[in-house]
């Protein structure tokens, strides 16, 4: 068993980050002991790793680095590694290795999202932009840097002679679907094709589909999932009072039929709390109760609508609702690792300054990101997916994707059904 020691301050944060890194991600046994040293150490009988301690007592925007340097050092899993909080130089003397990167503070920065809590003025609507993040500005949003850090530590331990084994894990494709809309509003959409797109061709295409509902793609989604050995996660929007929320009518018999089919076929029903609920506890709890009653499910997971997430207040509401798993933390305008990992991990409640009772399954890849923000084709989007799959396989972590049920309309989303089919064919669930 390895022994981790760190300065005797900020103990809650230190114990938290050790648990996430060593237990939840790496899967090895460890002990943590506070010490009177001014650095971290990771040791076992025959070796020692010394790491600078740069953990902050408070979270201030001034403490966010302006520039992240990339280090080419021995035993890193990639050709270089981003250093978020750094001090000193790399050195090896016998079986003692000194690192210049505080992998603990750097990982806590990514996982806790304290960056977003101190830059809240940049996200007045509660939807933090990828372009404001340190990882995007320094070109490592597409890298699971937390996994890189702990894999680096593991590689050094093995080099020093550590012989215990770590938990064997596999990559997994996790398919999620936010149910914002279920009925295609024909007249409004048909007129929109002419006014917005000046497209007679698209208008005529709509006329040919009269009587169909391209947003009722649920059977098709579940068919693909089942062939790949996957259970899909469907997150249901049940209300809301903001213009960003959809006019969703739970009295529509179609939604009852859809939920019943999802349950009958063994897939997972979760909640998609409304835009307004992200900052209104009463509204959030009302929607959770409404979703449980309507679906007759013990709902324990979901994702906030619009990816609206305030690092302090929103998480506390999820805790009060006895939720187990959130999957909001991906960026709307860029794919990648908002939290520095694709692994499920315990969140940190910045408002209460303690580990949360809620875990996070980070969102890495979303349909609208590619079509609406990056403006790329389904074919190019598949290339992105392949890159993220490679990283998931390499670091044995889940790859969570979001495709809305309304994203398979072959006129407004031409080719995206083929993309989704290709993704599942490439994945086949667990490998």
Q: What's the confidence (pLDDT) of residue 176?
A: 99
* Placement of tokens 């990648």 in the chain: 336
Query: Vertex 327, ends 298 and 130: CA angle to 5°?
Result: 160
Q: How far is CA 134 from CA 129, 167, 306, in A?
A: 11, 31, 22
Question: Residue 431 pLDDT > 60, yes or no?
Answer: no
pLDDT band of residue 228 (cuts 50, 70, 90) is: very high
pLDDT in tens, 2-34: 999 999 999 999 999 999 999 999 999 999 999
pLDDT in tens, 237-292: 998 776 666 667 888 999 999 999 999 999 999 999 999 999 999 999 999 999 99
pLDDT band of residue 187 (cuts 50, 70, 90) is: very low
What's the distance, Cα to Cα, between the start and end of the chain in Å? 29
Other CB atoms within 10 A of residue 374 CB:
15
DSSP secondary structure of 189-243: HHHHHHHTT--HHHHHHHHHTTT--TT--HHHHHHHHHHTT---EEEE-----ST
Backbone φ/ψ region at 307: left (φ over 0), alpha (ψ -120 to 50), beta: left
C-alpha to C-alpha distance for 81 and 145, rounded to whole angstroms: 8
Q: What's the confidence (pLDDT) of residue 206?
A: 53
Question: Residue 125 pLDDT > 80, yes or no?
Answer: no
Domains located in the chain, CATH noted: 2-159 (no CATH), 172-184+212-427 (3.20.20.370)
Please give the backbone phi and psi of residue 163, each rounded to the nearest 5 degrees, phi first. -115, -5
Decide: residue 114, CB within 10 A, 0-12 exposed, 13-18 middle, 19+ buried.
buried
Distance of CA 395 to the CA centre of its chain: 15
CB-based burial, 330-359: b 16+ in 10 Å, e otherwise = bbbbbbbbbbbbbbbbbbbbbeeeebbebb
40 three-state secondary structure? strand
Q: Which DSSP category does 26 fall into?
A: I
Q: What's the confidence (pLDDT) of residue 244?
A: 67
């Amino acid at each position: 068993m390895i022994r981790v020691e760190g300065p005797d301050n900020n103990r809650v944060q230190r114990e938290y980050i050790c648990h996430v890194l060593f237990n939840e991600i790496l899967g090895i046994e460890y002990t943590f002991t506070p010490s009177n040293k001014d650095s971290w150490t990771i040791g076992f009988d025959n070796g020692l790793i010394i790491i600078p301690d740069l953990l902050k007592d408070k979270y201030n925007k001034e403490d966010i680095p302006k520039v992240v340097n990339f280090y080419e050092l021995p035993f890193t899993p990639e050709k270089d590694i981003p250093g978020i909080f750094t001090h000193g130089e790399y050195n090896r003397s016998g079986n003692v290795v000194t690192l210049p990167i505080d992998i603990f503070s750097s990982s806590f920065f990514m996982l806790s999202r304290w960056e977003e809590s101190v830059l809240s003025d940049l996200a007045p609507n509660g939807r933090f932009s990828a372009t404001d993040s340190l990882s995007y500005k320094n070109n490592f949003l597409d890298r699971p840097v937390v996994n890189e850090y702990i894999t680096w530590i593991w590689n050094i331990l093995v080099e020093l002679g550590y012989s215990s084994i770590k938990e064997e894990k596999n990559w997994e494709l996790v398919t999620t679907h936010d149910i914002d809309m279920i009925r295609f509003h024909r007249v409004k959409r048909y007129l929109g094709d002419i006014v917005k797109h000046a497209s007679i061709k698209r208008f005529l295409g709509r006329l040919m589909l009269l009587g169909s509902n391209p947003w009722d793609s649920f059977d098709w989604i579940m068919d693909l999932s089942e062939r790949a050995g996957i259970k899909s996660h469907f997150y249901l929007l049940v209300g809301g009072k903001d213009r960003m929320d959809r006019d969703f009518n739970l009295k529509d018999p179609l939604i009852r039929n859809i939920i019943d089919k999802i349950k009958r076929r063994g897939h997972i029903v979760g909640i998609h709390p409304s835009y307004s609920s992200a900052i209104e506890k009463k509204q959030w709890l009302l929607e959770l109760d409404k979703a449980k009653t309507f679906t007759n499910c013990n709902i324990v997971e979901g994702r906030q609508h619009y990816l609206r997430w305030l690092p302090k207040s929103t998480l506390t509401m999820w805790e009060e609702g006895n939720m187990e798993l959130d999957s909001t933390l991906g960026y709307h305008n860029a794919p990648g690792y908002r939290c520095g990992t694709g692994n499920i991990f315990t969140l940190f409640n910045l408002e209460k300054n303690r580990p949360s009772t809620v875990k996070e399954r980070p969102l890495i890849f979303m349909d609208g990101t590619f079509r609406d923000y990056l403006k790329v084709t389904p074919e190019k989007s598949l290339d992105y997916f392949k890159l993220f799959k490679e990283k998931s396989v390499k670091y044995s972590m889940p790859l969570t994707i979001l495709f809305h049920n309304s994203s398979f309309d072959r006129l407004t989303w031409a080719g995206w059904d083929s993309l989704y089919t290709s993704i599942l064919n490439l994945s086949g669930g667990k490998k």
